[in-house]
Amino acid sequence: MEYPSQLLTHAVDEFAKLPGVGRKTALRLVLHLLRQEPARALQLGESLIRLRNEVKYCKVCHNISDSDTCSICSNPQRDASTLCVVENVKEVMVIEATRQFGGLYHVLGGLISPMDGIGPQQLQIDSLVERIRQSRDPQNPQPMLNPPIREVILALSTTMEGDTTNFYIFRKLAEFADLKITTLARGVAVGDEIEYADEITLGKSILNRTLFTDSFAKNGK
Amino acid sequence: MEYPSQLLTHAVDEFAKLPGVGRKTALRLVLHLLRQEPARALQLGESLIRLRNEVKYCKVCHNISDSDTCSICSNPQRDASTLCVVENVKEVMVIEATRQFGGLYHVLGGLISPMDGIGPQQLQIDSLVERIRQSRDPQNPQPMLNPPIREVILALSTTMEGDTTNFYIFRKLAEFADLKITTLARGVAVGDEIEYADEITLGKSILNRTLFTDSFAKNGK
């Protein structure tokens, strides 16, 4: 389809580069913006430019942040001896939304994926090792602010890339004695019917069954 | 869900104002932009700001245009005596894509919809009447460039708003003698099975049946 204006074509082209947005949807969104008051399109445009120009990443955990250290890392109430390793910023948000985790995070920025040309060097794995090493260093200058990390929770997706990354990190962390390395419990989701659970998940949830009284207590309700 | 940064929140808020884009999709799009090279987000932002600040509408037909008169209205090859009245810019594009119409357009900018508070005054109906009147004026200064309009095709949707607008324009145009007012043929869509056509459409397509030889010739294949 031909567009009557270069400006329109350009805006549609840019929108259509977003994932899941085809040219038809892009055109619909652009024409919608043109029908709205001008401020709407300007605000969207400016918010994207500001986000991209001014976004910061926490220098400790690599989460998106408005300052050099994110609000989670700089919160003294949180248990700095437990680290949850996640793939991306999104996972920090969903785990925070559960309100069940009081430790800190470490955002890898992706998963090892040779198919996509992503190796361990592109991810924040070296900085994870360094972060743990510094916290456990006897010369640690701030043992109160930065206590020794005792547990690392690997909270990556159960995909091939997630498993590969899990194993890579597991081996990298072998140098630290007494470091507890855990992973998320796999089991039947809350609300799921047993009848429809897949075999592997159901098998794991039987092997890793928990005491009924424990499951009740941990429910937090 | 809480977002770790004000900039991120702001960008998600703005994206989520678009039609069909919820907060989850907005977050996915914004995080995608953050993973891309910076130019991607900047180009999208700038294209929206430029579009909104610099967009022009053709002063003749009110289509989006890069100049004062759009490429269709300023094309001397087109038949300026036939006007196709459409709801919006999008309809100009889809009719142009058929390559079956050689006349000019008139973009109303919407349909009469008392429910949404849109009356005839908000639409380009007066300018349509004026455009036809000027073209038919014996004092017309440019009879070659701007020949008398002889046919108006009402190409609006078959909704209640479309029908209301059709009737309103039809009555407004009653003042012009010899002005042919037509509407799009309604019938079974090409490729549709008769069995599944709705009754009203099928009824209209029987009433307005065409000569087999005509349908063949008009197919343009």
Q: Which of B2, B41, B42 sits opposite A93 (nearest CB)?
A: B2
What 3-state class would DSSP assign to B183?
strand
Handedness of CA B68, B69, B70, B74 (dihedral sign): negative
Partners of A8 on chain B (C-beta within 8 Å) are 51, 55, 64
Q: Where are the domains of chain A?
A: 6-54, 77-184
Residue B202 has what pLDDT?
Answer: 84
- Secondary structure (3-state) at A161: helix
Q: For position B220, what pLDDT does the model report?
A: 45
Which CATH number, 3.30.360.10, 3.40.50.300, 3.40.1360.10, 1.10.10.10, labels domain A77-184? 3.40.1360.10
Task: Specify the pLDDT at position B221.
Answer: 39
Chain segment B202-217, per-residue pLDDT in tens: 888 888 887 776 766 6
Query: Considering Cα of B165, then B95, then B102, then B66, what sign does the dihedral take?
Result: positive
Q: Which two tokens stand for residue A185?
A: 């419990």
CA atoms of B108 and B125, how far apart (whole Å): 6
Q: What pLDDT does residue A186 have?
A: 82
Beta bridge partners of A121: none
CA distance A176 to chain B (A): 31
pLDDT at residue B199, as a whole number: 84
To the nearest 10 degrees (0 to 180), the angle between helices A160-172 and A125-136 is: 30
Specify whether domain B75-184 bears CATH 3.40.1360.10: yes
Report percent pLDDT > 90 for chain B.
61
CA distance A13 to B47: 9
Q: Which range (A211-215, B128-132, B145-149, B150-154) has the least confidence?
A: A211-215
Nearest to A40 among B17, B46, B53 (CB): B17
CB-CB under 8 Å, B47 with A33:
no
Task: Please check whether residue B10 is in contact with residue A51, taking contact to mean a CB–CB distance below 8 angstroms.
Answer: yes
pLDDT in tens, B101-139: 999 999 999 999 999 899 999 999 999 999 999 998 888
User: Using CB atoms, which residue from B5, B44, B94 is nearest to A66?
Assistant: B5
Beta-strand relationship, A180-183 and A151-154: parallel
Q: Specify the CATH architecture of the domain B6-54.
A: Orthogonal Bundle (1.10)
What was the pLDDT predicted at B33? Answer: 92
| B164-218 pLDDT per residue, tens | 999 999 999 999 988 999 988 888 888 888 888 888 888 888 888 877 767 666 5
pLDDT of chain A, 221 residues: tens digit per residue:
788 888 999 999 999 999 999 999 999 999 999 888 889 899 999 999 999 999 999 999 999 998 899 999 999 999 999 999 999 999 999 999 888 899 999 999 999 999 999 999 999 999 999 999 999 888 877 776 778 999 999 999 988 999 999 999 999 999 998 899 998 888 888 888 888 888 888 888 888 887 776 766 655 43
